[in-house]
Amino acid sequence: MKVVIVAGTPGAGKTSVMTHTIKQLQKKGKKTSVIKIDCLYTDDDVRYGKLGVPTLIGLSKDMCPDHFAIYNIEEMVEWAKEQNTDTLIIETAGLCHRCAPYTKNSLGVCVIDATSGPNTPRKVGPFLTSADVVAITKGDIISQAEREVFRERVLEMNPNCTIYDVNGLSGQGCAEIAEEITEAKDITDLENELLRHNAPLSVCTLCVGETRIAKKYHRGVLRRIDGFTKYVGE
C-alpha cells in the first residue's frame, strides 16, 4: 500500500490538486482511495466522490487534525485495504504549522499557494520543510519573477524537495505529481513506521481544556515571550 499524505495552508488548493492527480492516477490504472481529515466541516467527500473513488472523511473536532490523522493511521490503511485500493491519499487540514504529519515511508506532499507571498515558506514549518514534493499553486496570477522568488524561498527551507508548479483549476502539473506517487515506496510495516518530525512541544493545561488564563493555573511546558522555558508540574 502506498500512502500519500497531503498537507498545506488552508485554501491553497489541496483538494483541487489532488482531484486532478487522482484522475491522472486513474488513467494509469491505479486504484486510489481518499481520506479527508478536517476539523469542523468539509464537503470535500462530495468532490472526491465524483471521481468514483472510495472516500472517507474524518472530523477531528476540538483535536489537532494532524494528531487525529496520526492516531488513526492504522485504521485508515486498514479501511483502504478493504476498499481494494493500492494507493491511499490522506489529506489533512494541518492548521498549526508545527505538525508534520508525514511518516518516513509515506510520500509527503505539501501544497502551498504562491500568492501568499515569499515570506510564507519561512512561516509554515515542518509540513513544508519535511515534504518530498512541494506543489506550488496559483502561480499563474503573479509575475514570473515573483514565482521564481517564491520557489527560491521554498528551496531555502527545504533544499531536497521536488517542486512542481501546479494549476488547481486546469490540473496542469498534476500528471507529474501522479508520477511521483506511482514511484513512491510502499508502507509494509506500519507498526514500526515513524513520523518524520516530532509533533509540537509537549502538552499544556490549555490543551486539556483549561480556560482560565492566569499564569498560576497552568502546568506543563510553559514558554515565555522572552524565550524562557520551564516545566511546571510533577
Partner 1 sequence: MEIKEIKIIGGVDKCGNPENVKELIVKKGEIFGVVGPTGSGKSNLISDIEQLSQGDTVSGRKIMINNEIPSSDMRRDPRKRRIAQLSQNMNFLADMTVEEFLIMHAKSRGINSEGLVDKVIDLANNLTGEPIKKDYNLTILSGGQSRSLMVADVAVISDSPIVLIDEIENAGIKKHEALELLAGYGKIVMVITHDPVLALMTNRRVVMKNGAMTEIIETSDEEKEVSKRLNDLDGWMLSMREKVRHGEKLSIGDIQNTCKTC
Binding residues vs partner 1 (CB under 8 A): 115-119, 140-146, 148-153, 163-165, 170, 172-173, 175
Do residues 45 and 36 lie in contact, with contact meaning Cβ atoms separated by under 8 Å? yes
Least separation, in Å, of the C-beta of 145 and partner 1? 5
Least separation, in Å, of the C-beta of 204 and partner 1? 32
116 burial via Cβ count (<10 Å: 0-12, 13-18, 19+): middle
If the CB atoms of residues 89 and 114 are measured against partner 1, the closer one turns out to be: 114
Question: Which among 23, 27, 36, 25 has a CA at the least distance from the CA of 2?
Answer: 25
If the CB atoms of residues 123 and 223 are measured against partner 1, the closer one turns out to be: 123
If the CB atoms of residues 144 and 211 are measured against partner 1, the closer one turns out to be: 144
Residue 1, C-beta contacts closer than 8 angstroms, at least 6 positions apart: 77, 80, 81, 85, 86, 87, 88, 186, 187
If the CB atoms of residues 45 and 146 are measured against partner 1, the closer one turns out to be: 146
Least separation, in Å, of the C-beta of 102 and partner 1? 22
Residue identified by cell 515571550 is 225
Least separation, in Å, of the C-beta of 139 and partner 1? 10
